[in-house]
Amino acid sequence: MSTDADPDVIDRLAERAPLLDRCADRFAERRPFSGRLIGVSAPLTPHTGRFLEVLATGGATVLVAGEAGSTHADVVAALRRRAEITPVTAVEDEVETPSEESTADEADAPSEEAALETARHEVIAAEPDLIADDGANLLVPLCRDFPDVAADVSGACEQTTGGITRLRRLAEREPIPFPVYDVNGAPMKQRFDNVHGTAESSIAAITSLTNAMIAGSTAAVIGYGHCGRGIARKLRSLGARTTVTEIDPRKALEAIADGHDVQPAAEAVADAAFVIAATGRANVIGREQLTAMADGAVLASIGSETEIDRDVLSELAADRTRIEPGVERIAFADGRTIRLLTGGRVVNLSAPGSAGNPVDVMDATFALMARGLEAIVDGEPTGTGLEPIPEALDRAVAREKLATMDVTIDGDGTDDRIEP
């Protein structure tokens, strides 16, 4: 007998996340997080919800703060039905799924950011034992402003390029008093999630927002790290003429060897129909790039919400018009216009209807996060500050992923001769 009732959004996704299912089975038996509070900051998407549920299966109490432009009302509602998980949202009860109001209205940004900061401080004030972070939005204020709370944290995992960049800068000024696993640096995260997942979801978001064709277009990709590399390759495979900008000469050479043109950013954006920032760093699209950008260009970020200098953009804009959900037309005094997507926030998370990277890759990334937190509880990291995910753990997740795909390889994947 069939039913038309829509199942729980997290339950609906669980069957497509076999690695997290394996973690759930493992955690249900071991209960590694019993009696522990885990603080989380992350986009509140369905796959994040499943990750939180798996942590709770391991005995954790979970307190989670959402992120700007990527909080889904159905996920928040589903989480509130799970007694061990408490979502701390910027808006009481009703949280908008990414929409016209939440993705393209710059006027709302300051108040929303203030509300999000309050939510994160509430998570920190609860004195979590462990932290799972996205963008270091919990870890930076925790270490900088709440040293007494930080002193009692057992450890953390950070999964993004931008977050790791922020933590490295933080560590230059003051020590991080507990171990933080660099999940973003794990080969499984870099080669699978960053290169392929981010590229596919970001290009899908950009084309859905603009109804523009990639084939035959010109595109400038700012940065050739793993995310930028994946974006540039996917764009080129779809028929775009691609130009890469880089500050690292080795990555620039790699981009040339991969078949892309390489130019300084101000030159690359002057001829590009699409400009995509993919560095994870702040203000890489600033005054020089904005004043050089081609008339009619589409501007998007996939690295972080700070890649585009919003203050300079507001200064240069003669007029700003929201033309459709997630798309804003910026007019400059010289007559040029550009289309800014999702207010400069991470486009694959903030576009209307978008849930970020495909569940296939987020399943592996969140499995790394969950197993990393388990390793911290088990006492595996012995130092403080940023540490790589253990090689054996990374390979174990890769082997499990292959098994779910019915793929076998020579050996068992543990040979010391294998390149990391």
Residue spans per domain, the chain: 9-188+356-404, 195-350
- Give the Å distances, CA to CA, from 111 to 106, 116, 125, 224: 10, 9, 21, 33
Helix (H, G, I), strand (E, B) or coil at 39: strand
Q: Residues 6 or more apart from 338 whose CB is under 8 A from it?
A: 293, 295, 296, 297, 298, 299, 329, 330, 332
Spatial distance between the Cα atoms of 11 and 144, rounded to a whole number of angstroms: 37
**How close are the terminal C-alpha atoms of the chain, in Å?**
50
Give the DSSP letter of residue 71.
B
State which CATH number among 3.30.70.20, 3.90.550.10, 1.10.340.30, 3.40.50.720 fits the domain covering 195-350: 3.40.50.720
Asked whether 35 and 59 are in contact (CB, 8 A), the reply is yes
Domains 9-188+356-404 and 195-350 agree in fold: yes
pLDDT tens for 283-336 read 999 999 999 999 999 999 998 888 999 999 999 999 999 999 999 999 999 999
- β-pairing verdict for 317-324 and 261-262: unpaired
Spatial distance between the Cα atoms of 311 and 106, rounded to a whole number of angstroms: 11
pLDDT tens for 91-138 read 433 344 444 444 444 444 556 677 888 899 999 999 999 999 999 999
- At CA 136, angle to CA 141 and CA 77, rounded to 5? 95
CATH top class, domain 9-188+356-404: alpha beta
Q: Which pLDDT belongs to residue 412? A: 66
Spatial distance between the Cα atoms of 95 and 264, rounded to a whole number of angstroms: 41
The predicted model scores a pTM of 0.88
